[in-house]
Structure 1
Amino acid sequence: MANVIWVLVNCNSLKEAKSIGRACLKARLASCFDIFKRELTQYFWPPRSGKTESARGALLILETLPAQLPRLRRLVKKLHTDKLPFIGSIKIDVESAFASWVKGELK
């Protein structure tokens, strides 16, 4: 088994998710991406106000390796429309052959 990282990014629209995903592929910071339409997200905003906001949008999942994560985060922050975007990561155990494919697609 080998480690691949899923990077999860909450985006404000499908268009934004596609744009960020394509930029990450073009920069060879991700081997692929998936987008899931969100029906609802609800969160406190502004911070510490006790008020909540609701939105729709999309969840972008990017596949990469741990070594690419810092550069990928910087690119996502640069392109994202939020001042404080959610960018999280999860380590995934995958077959060695799949991890080799991911590695081969990255710079």
Structure 2
Amino acid sequence: MSDIATVYAVFGSRDEAERIGRAMVEKRLAACVNILGPVQSVYRWDGAIERAEEIAALFKTSATAADALIAAIAAMHSYDVPAICQWPIERSAPGYAAWVRGETGSGA
């Protein structure tokens, strides 16, 4: 298992994803954020089936920074219950892993 991770989150708008993504890179909690195109979400909320367009984002981080990253995203997020999940990375190119660790202050 690698010592880097991806944190997946969805946002209500591209502006929110970009604002939070930039803040996470500035705080060195994420080395990079990929802001993806709109996704259609179907979910149950308050007993009703809802549908919404959301913006998905992938935050590249070290495993040691993942908990702080998740907490920081949640603190800035507009949703009451934001979807923020860590995906462990099984393998990666050695140079990429070193870059992520270096950019998140986790050493190289």
Task: State TM-score, norm by structure 2.
Answer: 0.90
Q: How does 1:1-107 map to 2 (within 5 A)?
A: 2-46=2-46, 49=47, 51-92=48-89, 93-107=91-105
SS at match of 2:79: coil
Distance in 1 (alpha carbons) for counterparts of 2:101 and 2:11: 26
Runs of 5+ unmatched residues, structure 2 = none
Deviations 1:32-59 (A, max 9, x none): 010112241110001xx2x111111200
SS at match of 1:75: helix
Q: CA RMSD in A?
A: 1.3
- Structure 1 stretches of 4+ with a deviation exceeding 6 A read none
Give, in angstroms, the shift of residue 74 of structure 1: 1.1
Runs of 5+ unmatched residues, structure 1 = none
Give, in angstroms, the shift of residue 2 of structure 1: 3.4
Answer yes or no: is the 8 Å Cα contact 1:6–1:62 preserved in 2. yes
Answer yes or no: is the 8 Å Cα contact 1:10–1:87 preserved in 2. yes
Task: State TM-score, norm by structure 1.
Answer: 0.90
Percent of paired sites with the same residue: 28
Aligned length: 104
